Amino acid sequence: METILFLAHTEADGTLAPAALEALGAATSLSTSLANARFIVGLLGENVTPAAQQIASCGAAKFLGVSGADFAPARYASDAAAAAALCQAAGATLVVAPATSRFNRCLPGVAQRVGGRADTHVTRVRATADQVSVSRWYYRQRMEGTHTRTQRPWFILVDPGTHPAWIGAAGTATVEPLAVTLGDAAKRTTVTGFRTPAADAQTIRPDASLLLVAGAGWTKKQADGQTHVPEAEQLILDFLRLTRASLGSTKSLVDLGGEGQAVLSFLSHLNQIGQTGATPRHPKGLSTCCHGEEPHTVGWRFINERRAISLDPNCSWARGKADVLYVADAFAVMRKVNELLAA
């Protein structure tokens, strides 16, 4: 009989993030598919009660929690100690968790600590009456494989955007607290604060329904023989403000800054999409001033609807990589789109 532990860390307000709810959806589906499976929830954070109440109707046999100020920040030593304690207290054979940066960093080490195995970048979890299998990406997300494991406990880190989020009613849940004592060595790393841009200044929004990608063409000479980088910046920022879209970039545009050329001032390598950048998951994507070469478009594999604006009718987007290609001047198109959005 499998004992499934859904493991999650809370956000600053004590609730669970969308990625955690998606992993919970995978865990609950797993528990209903396996014969005689036992389902337990394990939470860690400064205050786990709001999260437990948020998912009170998920069908868990019990809720376990490790809480306190020491477990608020993302820190390997404290996260690993809490996760190991939750796994052992639950007697877990399967641990399903969201593949957040916090858990991707610590849970493989926890699996080693408790004598188990871990799989990251999991995109699908399947179960028959007596066997669990997972699909996950390999080779920078160019290959997908499906496998199962016999060694337990098995840590399964579910990639965001790959499973439907759990939906259920909030309620009252009793959390069984676990005492985890941290030595001074485990608390040497301290978080002194966060520096983040204002909400309106943020350009990377993982939960946005639209991805806007800016290519190097925005900084090139236009029909009048001049560059118009300040106008390009304003058009893009206005579009982001009006649509709440997330902003991506090609490697070529980001690299221009290192070559001393004009670039969009708000872009960094964090915006880069493609083989050497991110592989975001948004329902829709719009490419602008970009040719759509293979190293870039591999980062679009999880974008469901792809559109592109380019002056080149023979660009790579026109060869089956985009659902719709607009052969037009991106400056003119974005001016009109922003005008309509602001109306």
Q: Is residue 260 over pLDDT 90?
A: no
| Cα–Cα distance measured from residue 28 to residue 59, given in angstroms and rounded to the nearest whole number | 8
Which pLDDT tens digit goes with each residue over 288-307? Answer: 999 999 889 989 988 999 99
Q: Are residues 62 and 182 in the same domain?
A: yes
| Cα–Cα distance measured from residue 90 to residue 64, given in angstroms and rounded to the nearest whole number | 8
Of residues 130 and 292, the one with the higher pLDDT is 292
Q: Are residues 324 and 216 in the same domain?
A: yes
Distances (CA, A) of 318 to 278, 281, 308, 324: 23, 22, 9, 8
In this structure, what token pair is assigned to residue 52? 């437990």
Which of residues 157, 187, 217 is at a domain's end? 187
Position of tokens 């001074």?
184
* Arithmetic mean of pLDDT, 246-271: 82
Q: Are residues 48 and 171 in the same domain?
A: yes
pLDDT on residue 179: 95
Q: Are residues 180 and 60 in the same domain?
A: yes
User: Which domain, by its residues, includes 314?
Assistant: 199-342
| 154, containing H or E segment | strand 154-158
Which pLDDT tens digit goes with each residue over 211-242? Answer: 999 999 999 989 899 999 999 999 999 999 99
Percent of the chain with pLDDT strictly greater than 70: 96
Position of tokens 């859904």?
6
Q: Are residues 160 and 213 in the same domain?
A: no
Which pLDDT tens digit goes with each residue over 8-40? Answer: 999 999 999 999 999 999 999 999 999 889 999
Distances (CA, A) of 249 to 53, 116, 162, 201, 212: 39, 39, 23, 16, 8
Q: Assess contact for 78 and 49: CB atoms under 8 A.
A: no
In this structure, what token pair is assigned to residue 119? 């799989």
